[in-house]
Amino acid sequence: MRPSWDEYFMDIAQIVKKRSTCLRRQVGAVIVKDNRILTTGYNGVPPKMRHCEEIGCLRQKLNIPSGERHELCRALHAEQNAVIQAAKYGISVEGSTIYVTAQPCVICAKILIASGIKRIVFNGDYPDELSLSMLEESGIEIKKL
């Protein structure tokens, strides 16, 4: 059976997340416009930095619950990396859809709203109600697979 476009791109996001070096949660993202992939991203540290797999996770050491104290994390989120890649290579994400393997956090929600993404498709939960409330207020279409 042929997958829908949403299923197809979410399957690709699931593969992208395998590149993640996060010790706590692996997340993948794919930004798509007109059924064409613009960029991908996964959560991990910025280029030229040592991965958490090598040096450990401060948030894990401090027993910080998921969804809290993002400023203590060395990594960028998958959505952030996908938007950064678009900016780095001069690709507009205005009017596009992002497929993410977890619900965006509030920081990523603000970035996605400001970047002009019109639709978010995700399939995993994340403990951040403010994120969903901001996305709904912004008028971005949200779909959970």
What's the pLDDT tens digit per position in 51-96? 998 999 999 999 999 888 988 999 999 999 999 999 999 999 999 9
Q: What is the CATH number of the domain that holds 47?
A: 3.40.140.10
Short-list 105, 115, 102, 103, CA closest to 73 = 105
- What residues form the annotated binding site for Zn(2+)? 77, 105, 108
Strand partners, 79: none
- Structurally, the chain folds into a number of domains equal to 1
**How many angstroms separate the CA atoms of 104 and 50, rounded?**
24
Which pLDDT belongs to residue 90? 98
Angle at 67 between CA 88 and CA 13, to 5 degrees: 45
> The domain containing residue 87 runs over which residues?
5-144
pLDDT band at 124 (very low <50, low <70, confident <90, very high): confident
**How many angstroms separate the CA atoms of 122 and 126, rounded?**
10
**How many angstroms separate the CA atoms of 49 and 138, rounded?**
34
Active site residues: 79
- What residues form the annotated binding site? 77, 105, 108
Q: Which residue has the tokens 């996605």?
A: 112
